[in-house]
């Protein structure tokens, strides 16, 4: 097979690596075909929501000040809710991150004395301080966490296979009757599998059986448009995520969303702004157009990111590394985990991927003490929007098993180059053998 198209003057790849790349790409064809089918379904769903709600140029008009009567903002909420299969939604540029969206939902619904039950093991690192978990020294700071408001927290560990422990979940539900059940869809910095919507549906069934009044809340970060349906479709009450991940389509400059039951969204709106005002205030400040356009492009961009992940999985599996998911596994989100085994290999992987970024390709990433994380974190991210993980990026805490978590890719062809540069970097440092 001719691999000369990847030769200089553009990039200098080892020809042996290119040969493996071609085999990996070819092996991923059936997975790519399924991704295209999911993308087409979700693109139709989004387009129908735009048409049904008569989106027009007038919805892109900027508002200032209090933002009363912002038609574009309010219609975007309706469009987003329809796309996600929810009764209502809050989509705001003023939500600064996925963690912020999740925190608004938690504080919006939970009250002193309530219990939050997490059923998917330890939550993502940045939620630890939101919950109020003790740090490694056993200390707890008074910073306005759930714990500071006398909200109880219980956690069900995953079973030995890294899956939700259904018997343990059932027992805890029957005993605790929590106000809220928290499910993290994505693996986070964890080697466990991400949760498909069907698996989330199985947990929902258990919750309804043993604690029917519990609010089922989904951290949906990285999962939007990865499947045909979202967790609301299988009975979840509330979910939240970031607009600089999947649903912003690589176009939204910032923002987050919360969607679900109307009564819960109202509670979240009062937490988001202030009781009595809720969603009625919050000027769009010219962001509406990019949020609409990002949502419209999101299904396609997510499909490209998933193709990049499948290709990465196929390539690094052929290079002898343990990967999750494998190239032919059903995917629940855009994240690809590659167990690299050593800190040197992890650093080389991320440094190589940085070289393929359209922005800041010349920067050399190193591990650093990132706010909100227990361990040092290395992060390769050369994005048009700072921190955008729908754009190609790779990051990981420096801890065993020294796994890289790669996600994103606005288009597959540039994403493929980034993956190859990561492998080339490891090869040049003697950390990969061909």
* Cα dihedral value 345, 346, 350, 353, nearest 10: 50
Give yes or no: residues 309 and 342 share one domain.
Answer: yes
Residue 308 C-alpha from the chain's centroid: 15
Give yes or no: residues 66 and 30 share one domain.
Answer: no
pLDDT for the residue 7: 55
Q: Residue 231 is part of a domain; what is its CATH number?
A: 3.40.640.10
pLDDT for the residue 256: 98
Give yes or no: residues 35 and 181 share one domain.
Answer: no
Give yes or no: residues 153 and 261 share one domain.
Answer: yes
pLDDT for the residue 189: 79
Q: Which residues pair with 219 in a beta bridge?
A: 184, 240
pLDDT per residue as tens digits for the range 101-146: 999 999 999 999 999 999 999 998 889 999 998 765 566 788 999 9
pLDDT for the residue 125: 82
Distance CA(393)–CA(68), nearest Å, equals 38
Distance CA(333)–CA(245), nearest Å, equals 11
pLDDT for the residue 325: 96
pLDDT for the residue 139: 66
pLDDT for the residue 134: 74
pLDDT per residue as tens digits for the range 231-285: 999 999 999 999 999 999 999 999 999 999 999 999 999 999 999 999 999 999 9
Domain edge (last residue) among 267, 287, 307: 287
Give yes or no: residues 387 and 350 share one domain.
Answer: yes
Let me know how long the chain is.
434
Question: Does any domain span residue 47?
Answer: no
Do 344 and 398 meet the contact criterion of CB atoms below 8 Å apart?
A: no
Do 226 and 307 meet the contact criterion of CB atoms below 8 Å apart?
A: no
Q: Environment class of residue 103 by beta-carbon count within 10 Å: exposed (0-12), middle (13-18) or buried (19+)? A: buried
Residues of the chain where predicted confidence (pLDDT) is lower than 70:
1-9, 135-139, 372
Question: Does any domain span residue 51?
Answer: no
pLDDT for the residue 369: 85
Give yes or no: residues 356 and 406 share one domain.
Answer: yes
pLDDT for the residue 142: 86
Q: Residue 37 is part of a domain; what is its CATH number?
A: 3.90.1150.60
CA count, 13 A, side-chain hemisphere, 296: 12
pLDDT for the residue 136: 59
Question: Does any domain span residue 279?
Answer: yes
Give yes or no: residues 212 and 241 share one domain.
Answer: yes
Give yes or no: residues 134 and 279 share one domain.
Answer: yes
- Name the pairing type of β-strands 115-118 and 152-155: parallel
Domain count, the chain: 2
Domain edge (last residue) among 248, 270, 287: 287
Question: Does any domain span residue 125?
Answer: yes
Domain edge (last residue) among 237, 268, 287: 287
**E strand spans, 157-214:** 180-184
pLDDT for the residue 135: 66
Helix 288-318 and helix 15-27, axial crossing angle in degrees, nearest 10: 110
Distance CA(423)–CA(348), nearest Å, equals 8
One DSSP character per residue, 330-361 reads: --SSS-EEEE--SHHHHHHHHHHHHTT-SSST
Distance CA(295)–CA(44), nearest Å, equals 12
Give yes or no: residues 260 and 324 share one domain.
Answer: no
Give yes or no: residues 70 and 217 share one domain.
Answer: yes
Question: Does any domain span residue 205?
Answer: yes
Cβ neighbours of 270 (radius 10 Å) = 17
Sign of CA dihedral 351, 352, 358, 364: positive
Question: Does any domain span residue 53?
Answer: no
Give yes or no: residues 73 and 174 share one domain.
Answer: yes
Distance CA(270)–CA(277), nearest Å, equals 7
Question: Does any domain span residue 48?
Answer: no
> Cα–Cα–Cα angle for 160, 161, 163, nearest 5°?
105
Q: Which residues contact 54 (CB under 8 A, 6 or more apart)?
A: none
Question: Does any domain span residue 57?
Answer: no
Enter the tokens of residue 313: 């999985």
Give yes or no: residues 222 and 325 share one domain.
Answer: no
Q: Which residues pair with 406 in a beta bridge?
A: 336, 394
What is the distance between the terminal CA atoms of the chain, rounded to a whole angstrom?
Answer: 18
Q: Residue 163's closest CA among 133, 207, 193?
A: 193
Do 146 and 182 meet the contact criterion of CB atoms below 8 Å apart?
A: no
- Name the pairing type of β-strands 393-397 and 403-407: antiparallel
What is the extent of the structural domain holding 256?
A: 62-287
Q: Residue 294's closest CA among 85, 97, 35, 60?
A: 60
């Amino acid at each position: 097979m001719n691999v000369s198209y990847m030769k200089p003057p553009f990039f200098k790849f080892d020809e042996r690596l290119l040969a493996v790349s071609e085999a990996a790409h070819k092996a991923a064809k059936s997975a790519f075909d399924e991704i295209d089918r999911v993308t087409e379904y979700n693109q139709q769903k989004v387009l129908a929501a735009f048409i049904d709600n008569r989106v027009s140029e007038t919805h892109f008009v900027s508002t200032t000040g209090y933002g009363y009567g912002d038609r574009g903002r309010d219609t975007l909420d309706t469009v987003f809710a329809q796309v996600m299969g929810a009764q209502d939604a809050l989509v705001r540029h003023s939500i600064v991150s996925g963690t912020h969206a999740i925190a608004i939902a938690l504080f919006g619904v939970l009250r002193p004395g309530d219990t939050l039950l997490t059923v998917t093991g330890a939550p993502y690192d940045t939620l630890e301080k939101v919950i109020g978990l003790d740090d490694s020294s056993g200390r707890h700071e008074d910073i306005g966490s759930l714990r500071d408001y006398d909200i109880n927290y219980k956690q069900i560990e995953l079973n030995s296979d890294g899956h939700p422990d259904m018997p343990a979940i059932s027992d805890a539900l029957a005993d605790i009757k929590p106000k809220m059940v928290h499910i993290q869809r994505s693996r986070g910095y964890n080697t466990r599998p991400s949760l498909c919507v069907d698996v989330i549906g199985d947990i929902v069934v258990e919750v309804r059986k043993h604690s029917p009044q519990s609010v089922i809340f989904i951290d949906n970060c990285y999962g939007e448009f990865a499947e045909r349906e979202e967790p609301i479709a299988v009975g979840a009450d509330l979910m939240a995520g970031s607009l600089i991940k999947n649903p912003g389509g690589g176009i939204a400059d910032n923002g987050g969303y919360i969607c679900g039951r109307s009564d819960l969204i109202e509670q979240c709106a009062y937490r988001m702004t202030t009781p009595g005002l809720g969603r009625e205030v919050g000027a769009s400040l010219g962001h509406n157009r990019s949020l609409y356009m990002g949502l419209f492009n999101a299904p396609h961009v997510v499909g490209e990111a998933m193709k990049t992940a499948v290709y990465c999985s196929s390539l690094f599996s052929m290079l002898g590394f343990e990967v999750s998911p494998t190239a032919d596994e059903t995917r629940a989100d855009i994240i690809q985990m590659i167990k690299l085994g050593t800190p040197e290999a992890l650093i080389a992987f991320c440094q190589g991927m940085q070289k393929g970024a359209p922005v800041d390709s010349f920067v050399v990433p190193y591990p650093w003490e990132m706010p909100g994380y227990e361990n040092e974190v290395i992060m390769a991210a050369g994005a048009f929007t700072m921190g955008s993980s729908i754009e190609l990026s790779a990051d990981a805490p420096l801890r065993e098993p020294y796994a890289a978590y790669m996600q994103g890719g606005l288009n597959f062809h540039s994403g493929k180059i980034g993956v190859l540069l990561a492998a080339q970097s490891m090869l040049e440092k003697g950390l990969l053998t061909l």
